[in-house]
Structures are given as structure tokens and as C-alpha cells.
């Protein structure tokens, strides 16, 4: 009888170990990106998104012309000194797009910026400055100062990524967050985007090579990328998983007691 119980406990312990191991394992195909994408050279069909200006955007607007004195008033900047080394640093001050979509521009007053791309707004300012004979052949360059995306969920380093060159792909953003963990659903990455007063939710499959032709391959400012945890992660963090060590310890104790009884 004791031998039967002893062998039964050993089999039970073995079963618990194997079950835990199987729950922790994932197929290598599930962990691989683009596993159905054959080798070759492909035309890039994914256009780089033209970011549309929206309220609360912070814009850097630089104006230049042949007359630096006349141009100076249009370059909104501030000068601050750095006492640690005695040098003076000039920091560009951005134009905040108000809730009504406008910016306050020197001599031109309120300018409607929301709904335009930075190229369209730059051309509008250039033409207006020239038509009002404020500058001759001006050059206007506009950049976003608050272009950023957020990466959350099952990544190694959840982060807010600042994008100075205003161009970032979904893969680059995930890479900057330290890549997906083993527990991430690569076939079901969620993209959250707000535009035109609406919130867009899009599920993206990184196991498929179709991502390269997706209109969501390049991210927009303020996009949120969320990597959802898979069932394995849910199991490892459940109350059942928390109880297993206690059960394991209890069964180990029983096994040791029965073993000692057997050898006496």
C-alpha cells in the first residue's frame, strides 16, 4: 500500500511539472515575425504619412530671407543663459495650436493651422508674407516639436518615443521599446489612433508579411501601440499559478514522509 501511494505521488509530481512546462512553452512560429514572408525584392507600397496639424500640436516655424533684420521678428525664439558654464544658449519656442485650430503669428495675427499639413501651412505663410510685402522670397520651414508615439503592454521597456525626424514605423517603435516579450500576442498588436475627433482601433498581425503594405506601417504622432498578453502570461499570473508552489511543497513533503516510512 505504501509503495502504491509512493509511486502515485511521484507520478502526480511529474504530471504537475510537465503541465507547467507545457503552459510555459510557445511555438517558434508564434514567436517569429513575418514567418510566411518569402525572400525576394518587393516594391514599397506604403506611403509615409503626411501628418495633419491638430489642436495642441507644438510647431517650430522658422522663416528666412535675404533680409535677416526683417526676418528676425518672425522667428519666435528666446535666449536663456546657462550659469554652469557661462555660455548663452538660444532655445526655439514653439507655436501652440489652440483649441480652435489657430496660431498667433507675428504681424499676421491669427492663422488657421489645424487641418493643414506642415507643407501646406508653410506655403500659406510664405505666400502671405510675400503678398503683404513683408518679406521678399521668404523660406518657411515647419516641424513638429511634439511628435511622439507610446508603446505599452508586453514589451521589454514600455516607453514614449520622441520622433525628431517625424517618421517612424511600427517596427521601429517596438524596437525602441526593447522588442516584444515572449508573452506578447504577435498576431494581435493593437494600434490606437485619434483623428478627426474619433478614436481608431486597429489589430495588426506581425506574424504576417502583409504589415509591409499596411497603411498602418508608419505611425502618426500620438499613436499608441499596445501589445496584448497571451494565455501563457495570463496563466503565469493567475491565482492558480500562485497556489501551485504551495501544492508542490505539500506533495514534496508527503513524498518524503512516505519515503522515510518505506525505508524503515
**pLDDT tens-digit map of 186-229:** 999 999 998 777 899 999 999 888 888 888 999 999 999 999 98
Whether 104 maps to a domain, the answer reads yes
In this predicted structure, what is the pLDDT of residue 117? 93
Q: Is residue 135 over pLDDT 50? A: yes
Whether 52 maps to a domain, the answer reads no
Please check whether residues 217 and 248 belong to one and the same domain. no
Please check whether residues 131 and 171 belong to one and the same domain. no
The Cα–Cα gap between 124 and 129 comes to 9
The most confident of 32-36, 46-50, 82-86, 146-150, by mean pLDDT = 146-150
Whether 130 maps to a domain, the answer reads yes
Q: Is residue 134 over pLDDT 50? A: yes
| Domain carrying residue 62 | 58-144
What mean pLDDT do residues 136-161 have?
A: 94
Please check whether residues 163 and 127 belong to one and the same domain. no
| Comparison of pLDDT for 218 and 27, the residue scoring more | 218
In this predicted structure, what is the pLDDT of residue 75? 85
pLDDT tens digit sequence for 52-62: 898 989 999 99
The Cα–Cα gap between 33 and 13 comes to 36
Whether 166 maps to a domain, the answer reads yes
Please check whether residues 202 and 154 belong to one and the same domain. yes
Q: Is residue 95 over pLDDT 80? A: yes
At 118, which CATH number? 3.30.1950.10
Please check whether residues 63 and 140 belong to one and the same domain. yes
Domain tally, the chain: 3
Please check whether residues 89 and 140 belong to one and the same domain. yes
In this predicted structure, what is the pLDDT of residue 164? 87
Based on the number of CB atoms within 10 Å of its own CB, is 129 exposed (0-12), middle (13-18) or buried (19 or more)? buried
What mean pLDDT do residues 31-42 have?
A: 59
CB-CB contact of 60 with 71 (8 Å): no
Amino acid at each position: 500500500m505504501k509503495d502504491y501511494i509512493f509511486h502515485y505521488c511521484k507520478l502526480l509530481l511529474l504530471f504537475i511539472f510537465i503541465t507547467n512546462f507545457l503552459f510555459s512553452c510557445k511555438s517558434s512560429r508564434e514567436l517569429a515575425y513575418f514567418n510566411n514572408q518569402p525572400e525576394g525584392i518587393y516594391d514599397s507600397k506604403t506611403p509615409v504619412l503626411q501628418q495633419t496639424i491638430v489642436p495642441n500640436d507644438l510647431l517650430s516655424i522658422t522663416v528666412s530671407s535675404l533680409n535677416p533684420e526683417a526676418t528676425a521678428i518672425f522667428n519666435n525664439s528666446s535666449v536663456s543663459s546657462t550659469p554652469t558654464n557661462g555660455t548663452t544658449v538660444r532655445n526655439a519656442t514653439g507655436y501652440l495650436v489652440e483649441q480652435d485650430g489657430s496660431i498667433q503669428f507675428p504681424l499676421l495675427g491669427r492663422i488657421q493651422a489645424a487641418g493643414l499639413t506642415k507643407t501646406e501651412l508653410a506655403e500659406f505663410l510664405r505666400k502671405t508674407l510675400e503678398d503683404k510685402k513683408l518679406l521678399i522670397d521668404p523660406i518657411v520651414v515647419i516641424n513638429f516639436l511634439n511628435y511622439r508615439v507610446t508603446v505599452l503592454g508586453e514589451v521589454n521597456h514600455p516607453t514614449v518615443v520622441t520622433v525628431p525626424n517625424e517618421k517612424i514605423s511600427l517596427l521601429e517603435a517596438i524596437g525602441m521599446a526593447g522588442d516584444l516579450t515572449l508573452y506578447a500576442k504577435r498576431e494581435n498588436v493593437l494600434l490606437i489612433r485619434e483623428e478627426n475627433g474619433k478614436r481608431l482601433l486597429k489589430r495588426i498581425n506581425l506574424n504576417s508579411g502583409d504589415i509591409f503594405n499596411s497603411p498602418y506601417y508608419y505611425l502618426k504622432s500620438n499613436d499608441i501601440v499596445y501589445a496584448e498578453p497571451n494565455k501563457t502570461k495570463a496563466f503565469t499570473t493567475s491565482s492558480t499559478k500562485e497556489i501551485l508552489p504551495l501544492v508542490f511543497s505539500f506533495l514534496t513533503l508527503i513524498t518524503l514522509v512516505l519515503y522515510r516510512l518505506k525505508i524503515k
